């Protein structure tokens, strides 16, 4: 990591924490920290991405502001995380997207929606867009399958490549002499931690969402959002198999597998976004960095828009509004794909890599039960 004010503040705080260790057991940061005596700037990128921002150590800390030490790990780490996203982004000129991420996300979403609406109105006549379409191939009357698949496929492939380069850069930059070869046991352990959101459970009581009291609301909302996203992905995958391998062309019946998965996924995503937005609104602002807020809100708004417009296409698919709602949905999905490596979504990738590194190091330096 570069030697910035945020990185130096995090390093100063973590050196005090390593002497104090009152908060060990709160999260993955403290066991990882305790394996070391000295900390490099790169260690700050690693520890910051292990922090899941539960605010527990802030509310427990006797050295938190107004104490002269001013220890505020959630705030320091949130800023270092943001800097790590920019530092490991690929290609580097696009790292500037993290500087005012909320504005960037809003602008890309507006551009993507405008692009799809313009393309639809230029490629098909208004009569086709504003007319109800029924039966197999109804969606493709407005936007052809070839156009949908080529734009979405090319964008998604680029974003996956950019995320992969970022993850490799993160891994190489934060690798230390403590990090050994990646074992299956470490992979299993990290995967379990990720899928179960183990650390968002704290010691069984959850995070300090609003104040010093504990709550599992954030964990539940996070599960609803991630689960909903997975269900929507499954719905799209099943529909692709139906359409291209079985010859069953969309749209499908209300009780077909893609529609049931997509409906449940959309409702779950809306519930998760609403829950996480509520947590943001009630959170004590003291351990929150204003620098990261725009990007956090922007990703939630984007995911919410994707779920709402997706359900809108389902609900209105037999009406004359389907063409416009589908163009809106495709615009939002295009923006989501474009922004995957340049917004808060990268948190999932770097946190996953940090949890894997932590599991590898624990595996090597402490016997695993």
Residues with Cβ within 8 Å of residue 313, at least 6 apart in sequence: 322, 325, 326, 329
Binding mask 38-77 for ligand SF4 (x = CB under 6 A): -------------xxxxxxx--xxxx-------x-xx--x
Minimum distance between the CB of residue 68 and ligand SF4, rounded to whole angstroms? 13
Residues 6+ apart with CB under 8 A from 359: 185, 186, 187, 189, 190, 193
Of positions 7, 9, 23, 129, contacts ligand SF4 by CB under 6 A? 23
d(CA 134, CA 131): 10
Residue nearer to ligand SF4 on the CB measure, 20 or 301: 20
Phi, psi of 319 (to 5 degrees): -110, 175
CB of residue 23 to ligand SF4, shortest distance in Å:
3
CA gap 270, 254 in Å, rounded: 20
Query: What does the buried/exposed string (b/e) look like for 204-229 if buried means 16 or more CB atoms within 10 Å of the residue's CB?
Result: eebbbbbeeebbbbbbbbbbbbbbbb
Interface positions, 313-332, toward ligand SF4 (CB under 6 A)? none
Q: Which residue, among 151, 159, 91, 80, has the nearest Cα to 119 in the 3D structure?
A: 151
Q: For the CB of residue 301, give the shortest distance to ligand SF4 in the complex, in Å.
A: 24
In contact, 21 and 30? CB cutoff 8 Å: yes
**Structure tokens, 311:** 């359900």
DSSP summary character for residue 90: S
Least Cβ distance, residue 204 to ligand SF4 (angstroms): 15
Q: How many residues bind ligand SF4 (CB under 6 A)?
A: 24
List 27, 129, 288, 360, residue binding ligand SF4 (CB under 6 A): 27
Q: Is 224 in the site for ligand SF4 (CB under 6 A)?
A: no
- Supply the minimum distance, in Å, between the C-beta of residue 56 and ligand SF4: 4
Shorter beta-carbon distance to ligand SF4: residue 77 or 139: 77
- Selected binder of ligand SF4 within 8, 12, 20, 314 (CB under 6 A): 20
Using an 8 Å Cβ cutoff, are 325 and 305 in contact?
A: no
Nearer to ligand SF4, 80 or 259 (CB): 80
**Contact pick of 29, 340, 356, 358 for ligand SF4 (by CB under 6 A):** 29
Nearer to ligand SF4 by C-beta: 52 or 317?
52
Query: Cα–Cα distance between 25 and 147 in angstroms, integer?
Result: 51
| Nearest-approach distance from CB 67 to ligand SF4, in angstroms | 9
CB of 214 to ligand SF4, least distance (A): 12
- DSSP code per residue over 197-211: TGGGGTTTT-B-SSS
- Chain residues 73-112 in contact with ligand SF4, contact rule CB under 6 A: 73-74, 77
Return the residue of 5, 22, 192, 319 that touches ligand SF4, per CB under 6 A.
22
- Is it true that the peptide bond before 251 is cis, omega within 30 degrees of 0? yes
Closer to ligand SF4 by Cβ: residue 23 or 335 = 23
**Toward ligand SF4, which CB reaches closer, 194 or 315?**
194
Place of tokens 């060990």: 24
Name the site residues for ligand SF4 (rule: CB under 6 A).
Answer: 16-17, 20-23, 26-27, 29, 51-57, 60-63, 71, 73-74, 77
């Amino acid at each position: 990591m570069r030697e910035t004010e945020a990185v130096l503040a995090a390093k100063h705080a973590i050196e005090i924490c390593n002497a104090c260790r009152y908060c060990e057991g709160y999260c993955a940061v403290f066991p990882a920290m305790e394996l070391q005596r000295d900390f490099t700037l790169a260690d700050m990128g690693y520890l910051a991405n292990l922090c899941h921002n539960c605010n527990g150590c802030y509310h427990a800390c006797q050295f938190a502001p107004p104490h002269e030490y001013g220890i505020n790990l959630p705030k320091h780490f949130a800023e270092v995380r943001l800097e790590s996203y920019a530092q490991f982004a690929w290609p580097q000129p696009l790292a500037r997207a993290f500087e005012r991420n909320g504005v960037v996300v809003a602008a890309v979403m507006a551009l993507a929606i405008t692009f799809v609406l313009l393309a639809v109105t230029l490629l098909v006549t208004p009569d086709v867009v504003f007319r109800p379409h029924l039966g197999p191939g109804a969606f493709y009357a407005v936007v052809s399958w070839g156009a949908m698949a080529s734009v979405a496929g090319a964008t998604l492939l680029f974003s996956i490549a950019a995320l992969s380069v970022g993850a490799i850069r993160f891994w190489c930059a934060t690798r230390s002499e403590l990090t050994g070869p990646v074992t299956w046991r470490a992979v299993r352990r990290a995967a379990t931690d990720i899928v179960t959101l183990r650390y968002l459970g704290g010691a069984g009581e959850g995070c300090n969402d609003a104040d010093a009291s504990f709550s599992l609301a954030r964990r539940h909302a996070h599960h609803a959002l991630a689960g909903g996203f997975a269900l929507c992905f499954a719905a799209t995958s099943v529909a692709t198999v139906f359409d291209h391998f079985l010859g069953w062309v969309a749209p499908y019946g209300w009780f077909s597998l893609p529609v049931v998965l997509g409906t449940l996924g959309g409702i779950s995503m809306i519930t998760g976004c609403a829950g996480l937005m509520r947590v943001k609104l009630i959170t004590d602002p003291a351990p929150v960095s204003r620098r990261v807020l725009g990007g956090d809100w922007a990703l939630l708004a984007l995911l919410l828009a994707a779920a709402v417009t997706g359900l809108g296409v389902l609900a209105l698919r037999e009406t004359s509004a389907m063409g416009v709602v589908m163009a809106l949905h495709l615009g939002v999905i295009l923006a989501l794909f474009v922004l995957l490596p340049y917004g808060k979504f990268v948190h999932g990738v770097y946190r996953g890599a940090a949890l894997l590194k932590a599991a590898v190091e624990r595996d090597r330096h402490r016997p695993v039960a």
